[in-house]
Amino acid sequence: MQLKPSTGRAGRWLAPAALALVSGLYGVASRTDVLPEDRADAQASHYSGGGQDINGLSFLVRKKVGDHVSLSYSHLEDIVSGASIDVRTSGASPYREKRTQDGLTGEFLYGKTTYTLGVTHSYEPDYRSNTGNFGISQSMFGDLTTISMTYRRTWNDVFKMECLIDDKALNYPCVEKVHDPGFGKKDMDERSYGVGLTQILTRNSLIAADLEVITDQGWLSNPYRSVMYADPSGGASLAAEIDPSTRTSNALGLDYKYFLPWRAALDLQYRYFEDTWHIRAHTAQLGYSQPWRSWTFDTSFRFYVQSHADFYSDLFASANQQNFMSRNRELSSFDSLTVGAGASYQFKMPYAPFLSKSTANIRFDHFFFDYKDFRDALLIDPSKGVVAGTEPLYKVQLNVMQLFLSVWY
Amino acid sequence: MSIARRMVGLIAAVGLYLQLCACSPLEPWVKPYERERLADPIMAFDRNPISSAYMDHVFEVRNAARGGNGAAGGGCGCN
């Protein structure tokens, strides 16, 4: 199967629109705007489900320097352990892996224009990523309207790990891993172009709209994932997945907030997504925030549905059925529902008079994933009449717990 | 006509409209002293940035859809 080449069509149309916007900004009078508040956040998170556990720690610090500059630094560490259905289907052992990410961002205020410049570095044993991003935003019409433009460029290096020393008696049998020299290092570059609009509609409501075009080029496959093709015995055999080397996507997000008369906030979000792999997705989210004394309670319902990539199949007829083949379940057809709730308690930190406000926060989210054309291959058993392609569809539920502390100074 | 092309056309029209409006001041229809409710922390688009960044990452590695939420990301964490 031959895919249409990625033309970056929307990117070309974006240029004249951006020029029109920029030229429009020059006609607006300049006034002082504000930088983000000085604050620090520390978070512990736990993700579980689908055979995987991910424990994370992160912190974020923001500090103004003078009247025109705000700097922020973030650090994140995740430890992934276990084995997802992909790992178990391929016959590999459970593994344990650490990811770290550091980011530094500067915001520079000049009149009513804010310039943002940031860099991020992410490290995993088999995935290294460096990102640079630049943004500009402008308030206008008496601060009723803010328009922004962003550009982000990411350089990724993809490796494949192979086990050098293993001990089958351990929970995580691989004792020492090295980069697979046969795979080498693959490059993947990403560019993102975004425009955004935030608009105050009434004294009770405001809306934000973001349009983002992202284009990828390079190694877009996953070195560990396999496709399945039917074999005559009723079982299935595995072959390496082959994804196209380009992908361009468009996403339009809308976020509407409404202040209710009894001091509560309603949040409605919608996002439409499409890409050159012919995936279409819709995301809708309803959120509600209710303060009560020193507490603020939040709840949210998020529904997501997507169609599959046109080179995706749960089971191919043969190992070389077409030039691009994937059984990546993130590219399959599925829907998911996420139900979340959180509570935040505001208090005065003892022995810290320099802190103006502190909050202790807890949040829990539960995910239901319902796959429409991705089957649980672990249940294939021709001896019991369950041949490849007839096994039950895969469903999974995930939990995410977050605990975090925020202080303002 | 794709939704992206329609949106880009709309943004271009807004930009041209701003140019035309640049010559005469436009009166804000919500005065600064009427924005007390909008300034309430519960009306912030991103009240807890450390939490929303984490959730954005979780959604991005589990779904094919990406972007459109103003977030800047990095890394994979998706094996």
What b/e readout covers A349-373, taking b as 16+ CB neighbours within 10 angstroms? Answer: eeeeeeeeebbebebebebebebeb
Query: What is the least distance, in Å, from the CA of B52 to any CA of chain A?
Result: 11
Q: Provide the pLDDT confidence category of residue A99 given band limits of 50, 70 and 90.
A: very high
In a domain, A403, yes or no: no
Lowest mean pLDDT among A2-6, A141-145, A293-297, A385-389: A2-6
A358 at B interface, C-beta within 8 A: no
Of A151, A145, A181, which is closest to residue A164 (Cα–Cα)?
Answer: A181
In a domain, A28, yes or no: no
Q: Which helix (H) or strand (E) element contains residue A22?
A: helix A9-25
Residue pair A28/A138 in contact (Cβ under 8 Å)? The answer is yes
The parent domain of residue A69 ranges over: 36-124
pLDDT at B16: 75
Cβ contact, residue pair B67, A213, below 8 Å: yes
| Residue of A396 and A94 predicted with greater confidence | A396
Residue A31 has pLDDT above 80, yes or no: no
Contacts of B71 in chain A (CB under 8 A): none
Give A316-353 pLDDT, tens digit per residue.
Answer: 999 999 999 999 999 999 999 999 999 999 999 999 99
Lowest mean pLDDT among A146-155, A229-238, A306-315: A229-238
What are the φ and ψ backbone dihedral angles of A88, each rounded to 5 degrees?
Answer: -70, -35
Rounded average pLDDT over A112-134: 96
Q: How far apart are CA A375 and CA B4, in angstroms?
A: 33
Cβ contact, residue pair B43, A257, below 8 Å: yes
In a domain, A110, yes or no: yes
Strands (E), A180-279: 186-202, 205-218, 226-230, 236-240, 246-260, 264-275
Q: Tally Cβ neighbours within 10 Å of residue A199.
A: 14
A111 at B interface, C-beta within 8 A: no
Residue pair A84/A52 in contact (Cβ under 8 Å)? The answer is yes
Residue A175 has pLDDT above 90, yes or no: no
Residue pair A195/A152 in contact (Cβ under 8 Å)? The answer is no
Rounded to two decimals, what is the model's pTM? 0.86
Which residue in chain B has the smallest CA separation from A87? B79
Rounded average pLDDT over A193-203: 95
Residue A10 has pLDDT above 70, yes or no: no
Rounded average pLDDT over A275-300: 98
Percent share of chain A, pLDDT over 70: 92
| Angle between the N-to-C axes of helices A9-25 and B3-21, in degrees from 0 to 180, rounded to the nearest 10 | 10
pLDDT at A280: 98
A239 at B interface, C-beta within 8 A: no
pLDDT at A217: 98
Q: Which residues contact A136 (CB under 8 A, 6 or more apart)?
A: A113, A114, A115, A116, A148, A149
A296 at B interface, C-beta within 8 A: yes
| Residue of A11 and A407 predicted with greater confidence | A407
Q: How far apart are CA A227 and CA A320, in angstroms?
A: 11
Q: Provide the pLDDT confidence category of residue B1 given band limits of 50, 70 and 90.
A: low
Q: Taking the mean position of all CA atoms in its chain, how far away is CA A96?
A: 21
Secondary structure of residue A377 in the 3-state scheme = helix
pLDDT at A306: 98
A84 at B interface, C-beta within 8 A: yes
In a domain, A94, yes or no: yes
Residue A69 has pLDDT above 80, yes or no: yes
The CA distances from residue B7 to A14, A141, A155, A302, B67, in Å, are: 9, 22, 28, 24, 15
| Residue of A131 and B14 predicted with greater confidence | A131
pLDDT at A301: 98
Secondary structure of residue B5 in the 3-state scheme = helix
Which residue in chain B has the smallest CA separation from A16? B12
Residue B34 has pLDDT above 50, yes or no: yes
Cβ contact, residue pair A59, B77, below 8 Å: no
Contacts of B23 in chain A (CB under 8 A): 27
Q: How far apart are CA A86 and CA A52, in angstroms?
A: 11
pLDDT at B4: 67
A197 at B interface, C-beta within 8 A: yes
Nearest to A127 among B37, B72, B75 (CB): B75
Cβ contact, residue pair B22, A27, below 8 Å: yes
Give A224-248 pLDDT, tens digit per residue.
Answer: 889 999 988 888 999 999 999 999 9
Q: Which of B37, B46, B56, B57 to mutate to test the interface with A (most CBs of A within 10 A)?
A: B37
| Residue of A171 and B63 predicted with greater confidence | B63
Cβ contact, residue pair A143, B17, below 8 Å: no
Rounded average pLDDT over A271-300: 98
B46 at A interface, C-beta within 8 A: no
Count: domains in chain A: 1
pLDDT at A9: 34
B39 at A interface, C-beta within 8 A: no
Nearest to A330 among B8, B62, B74 (CB): B62
In a domain, A48, yes or no: yes
Contacts of A203 in chain B (CB under 8 A): 30, 34-35, 37-38
Rounded average pLDDT over A271-275: 98
Residue A138 has pLDDT above 50, yes or no: yes
Per-chain mean pLDDT for chain A = 90
Q: Which helix (H) or strand (E) element contains residue A20?
A: helix A9-25
In a domain, A183, yes or no: no
Contacts of B43 in chain A (CB under 8 A): 206, 257, 259, 265
The CA distances from residue A333 to A240, A318, A336, B7, in Å, are: 21, 21, 10, 26
| Residue of A18 and A247 predicted with greater confidence | A247
Rounded average pLDDT over A48-77: 96
Q: Provide the pLDDT confidence category of residue B21 given band limits of 50, 70 and 90.
A: low
Q: Which of B10, B48, B61 to mutate to test the interface with A (most CBs of A within 10 A)?
A: B48
Cβ contact, residue pair B75, A306, below 8 Å: no
Nearest to B76 among A124, A140, A263 (CB): A124
Which residue's structure tokens are 């912030």?
A: B44
pLDDT at A174: 86
